Structure 1
């Protein structure tokens, strides 16, 4: 059970509520039971004391002498439950138990009995034990005149205290089973509630992973069932939308591929004508020669765009394949720079002996795009650094230009993305960096972009030393 999870919180909540409820019920039950037991014992003791005093007083002469006063106290005590009786007549005092501590009869109680001429009582603590101390005057005539004889009874309330303590222990011992039952009920409730939640979470993860046919079973008519139905409706709508988008994307890609292929034939003818015009441009009038060169330049750009579109369509169709060979990467990079006349414009740090199985043509495309991008949109010096570890090769192309704004860095590998303040991805088509990234992925690698701490941008091609192609290999 995961700490901090919903099941844990439900279990803790149930147990806390059970503990609070049981604690409150125990406290209330103890208080009420204790009050009822003490009051019942107190009233019984007071009633018994009053009756006993009245019964014994009928046979007692007033004023009593010392032995008579002692006998009076003993006779009253005989009718009480384990009580000690103290009799007072003016300054004379007698007790049914001479060894008993008479300090439990407080001066306050004696004053109340004498002044109010009625039965009075107090509950006191003495030596850590509870006592009921009651006192009453002895009255003989109907006018209720006091005879001067006062009687006090000291009755222990310890049995009642033990009864209430036993009751408290019983109720307290019952708390643990209550909490255990609450925990079991909490687990059952959590299981009932969390099962559809877990199912919904699992379905949501599957949906996020692309399993658009995922649905959840709807049971019941509660809020969780409504949530499950909502999820299924959302999944239906998402599946429909994704299917439509995929169909539209496939249609668009087929259109681009078809148009690109259809343009290759007329572009080939236009390129041949432009080549002838370029050769004869010096013999044409100046305006005609300028127009011929412009047409030739734009035709070359259009041909490059068509070739890029065809290459992208191969990646989209999964038809791109590697032709890998064991290659010296330093020689391959130097060949790319020399073929484009960049050797003198780029500082290259290419250690010899770094070899890997790569498709040299596709590697040439990647390096040409990265270096060309740095030359066009960065600032010198442009540096190419090749490094190798046991598992990975990296080729870093850096410059000292303005660098890439965060927005441009997020979209630099997107197709047709261009920004005036950022690097474009090819010579005008907006596809060069996207093609470079696809070629890197075809090798099992990637391209990373970052800003240099001292200004400029750095694009890093990372390739594994040994790995099969993503889309297949052709070793022919």
Structure 2
């Protein structure tokens, strides 16, 4: 029994959820439903008023007819009985019988019952036509009102001589005579009026139902005329957003919907023209960047050879010329690095970047990056701390690209470390590996975590640079992470430093869902003064520009937004 109840409850819940979803998603369903409900209330109210009015009219007509017959019958009975002065006269009963027969229905086809009675004397027997017992249909209240000399009426339901229960309109009137007052009653069956009223109500209800259904159908058709073009526009817009720029709406007629379709098509045409123009400009820009980078390689090689020769002989020059040789060598290094980064960016833009994945132990990769940047860290007074497992951390990655990402992240952390330690942490789980680089320098202002991966963007362009970067390092790192199917995210707070997190799938081609390491460091200030184990703990850009928000260290709740 309990299982049946749970099954019925689950079915009802699914039904309600489906109806609610249909109500929310379909404008046509909402319009038709509201039209049906409103029209049902309106038509139902009018139908009730009309049916009630018809019933009252039929009853009023029956009352008017009976009242006229009653007055006429009362006058006739008064004339017939006015000849007698004593109720004991032998002809009184016969006169009553004849009067009832005259006033009643001899053929007994109408069902009208006429009755004369005088209860104040035992010498007169009540008489009705046809000869039936009418007493059950005449209430004591009606008898009392008629006995007081009033014309009164009531509606009663009862049986006459065992017939089916019938509703009767009972009218009573006093008949004055010389020997006292006699009471005249007309009992008129209302079966015909009830049948007519029922037919009228059925007709009104049927007409109302048909009208409501017609209004619902009309609302559905009218709504469909409006909703269909909107749905077509939505589907066309979705195709346009998917890159099918040649999609257009069909223009039919000259009404507002046709104007909407024509305007939509014009907008799509303009967007297509602008997108194609921007694509062409982007293609030309990528080609220009690639061509310039390649073309500059030859003169750069020649200049490099001459500069190397001058730099090697700088000890024989005077101090000013020797210093110039050193500056020339440094700027040529930066120039060559810029050309290399531009070529790499152009390969990403052209879609020619290829991933050479292989099972790689990331622990030696991290140590190799630290060793290569140890001289820079010592020169600027920044200590590099490591938190890596003692066992190998194997992942299917391109070691060259991962090393380049780490070199960019650690180099930026050392550069912005403000002579404070930089912590590099390596973590892994069954599905992913992650590396975080934490510095405690100037940090990032609100909103800058969305900009750090933009090309040529710098947090403080006026600040003296130590590493001579090109402004493309983080952009290239982001593309490398995307090429792996991973995430590269940033967190920062003014005066609290910054932390970057690289998350890569352990197996090439897998889709990431969580990261083994948290984006926000454990010592980060809490937003809004909330508890550390709950509330908002991380805000930073994802690899697709989304924000990462979450409460737990490396938990599922830390992931938010769309990753590419």
Whether the TM-score (by the shorter chain) exceeds 0.5 is yes
1:163-210 deviation per Cα after TM superposition (whole angstroms, max 9, x unaligned): 424533454356555555555555555544433332222111111222
The offset of 1:441, in angstroms, is 1.9
User: Residue in 1 aligned with 2:63?
Assistant: 42
Of 456, 461, 477, which residue of structure 2 is paired with 1:416? 456
Q: Given the alignment of the two structures, is residue 33 of structure 1 paired with residue 54 of structure 2, yes or no?
A: yes
Q: CA deviation at 1:443?
A: 2.3
Residue aligned with 2:346, SS? helix
Count of aligned residue pairs for this structure pair: 456
Q: Give the equivalent residue in structure 2 for 1:19.
A: 40
Instruction: Tell me, yes or no, if the aligned pair for 1:69 and 1:94 is still in contact at 8 Å.
Output: no
| Distance in structure 1 (CA, Å) of the matches to 2:231 and 2:86 | 92
CA contact (8 A) 1:89 1:148 kept: no
Judged with a 3 Å threshold, the aligned counterparts in structure 2 of structure 1 residues 445 and 98 are, in CA distance, closer, same or farther, namely: closer
Distance 1:360 1:463 in 2: 12
Would the aligned equivalents of 1:34 and 1:164 in 2 still touch at CA under 8 Å?
Answer: yes
TM-fit CA distance, 1:162: 5.2
2:488 counterpart of 1:447 = yes
Structure 1 partner of 2:475: 434
1:368 aligns with 2:400: no
1:320 has 2:353 as partner: yes
State yes or no: 1:239 paired with 2:260.
no
Deviation at 1:28, TM superposition (A): 2.9
Q: Counterpart in 1 of 2:255?
A: 222
CA distance in 2, matches of 1:249, 1:98: 105
Instruction: Give 3-state SS (helix, strand or coil) of 1:105's partner.
Output: helix
Per the alignment, in what secondary structure is the counterpart of residue 246 of structure 1? helix
Residue 34 of structure 1, CA deviation: 0.7
1:3 to 1, 11, 23: 23
Of 136, 155, 163, the match for 2:187: 155
Match status 1:350 vs 2:381 = no
The TM-score with structure 1 as length reference comes to: 0.81
- Greater shift, 53-62 or 432-441, is seen at 53-62
In 2, Cα distance between equivalents of 1:445 and 1:393: 10
Identify which range, 456-465 or 59-68, moves more after superposition.
59-68
SS in 1 for 2:447: helix
Residue pair 1:390, 1:465 contacting (<8 A) in 2 also: yes
Alpha carbons of 1:111 and 1:315: their partners in 2 closer, same or farther (altered >3 Å)?
Answer: same
Partner of 2:421: 381
CA contact (8 A) 1:314 1:320 kept: yes
Q: Deviations over 1:363-419 (max 9, x none)?
A: 221111111111222453322222222222211212233433332111211112222
1:221-240 CA-to-partner distances (Å, cap 9, x unmatched) read 33322222221111111101
The partner residue of 1:294 within 297, 308, 327 is 327
Secondary structure in 2 matching 1:401? coil
Conserved in 2, the CA contact under 8 Å of 1:405 and 1:422?
Answer: no
Query: Structure 1 pair 468/33, CA: closer, same or farther in 2 (3 Å)?
Result: closer
The counterpart of 1:464, out of the listed 505, 523, 531, is: 505
Q: Distance in 2 between matches of 1:355 and 1:292?
A: 45
Aligned-partner SS, 1:413: coil
Q: Secondary structure, in 3 states, of the residue corresponding to 1:59?
A: helix
Relative to structure 1, the CA distance from residue 451 to residue 86 in structure 2 (aligned partners, 3 Å threshold; closer, same or farther) is farther
Counterpart Cα distance in 1 of 2:409 and 2:170: 102
Q: CA deviation at 1:88?
A: 7.2
Contact 2:397–2:508 (CA under 8 A) maintained in structure 1: no
Q: Trace 1:42-441 onto structure 2 (pairs within 5 A).
A: 42-61=63-82, 64-66=85-87, 77-78=100-101, 79-80=103-104, 82-83=112-113, 85=115, 96=127, 99=135, 101=138, 103-105=140-142, 113=150, 122-123=153-154, 131-135=169-173, 152-156=184-188, 158-159=190-191, 160-161=193-194, 163-169=196-202, 171-172=204-205, 175-176=208-209, 179-180=212-213, 183-341=216-374, 345-351=383-389, 352-378=391-417, 380-420=420-460, 427-441=468-482
Change (3 A) 1:61 1:110: closer
> Who is 1:142 aligned against?
none
Which is bigger in relative contact order (C-alpha 8 A, separation at least 6)?
1
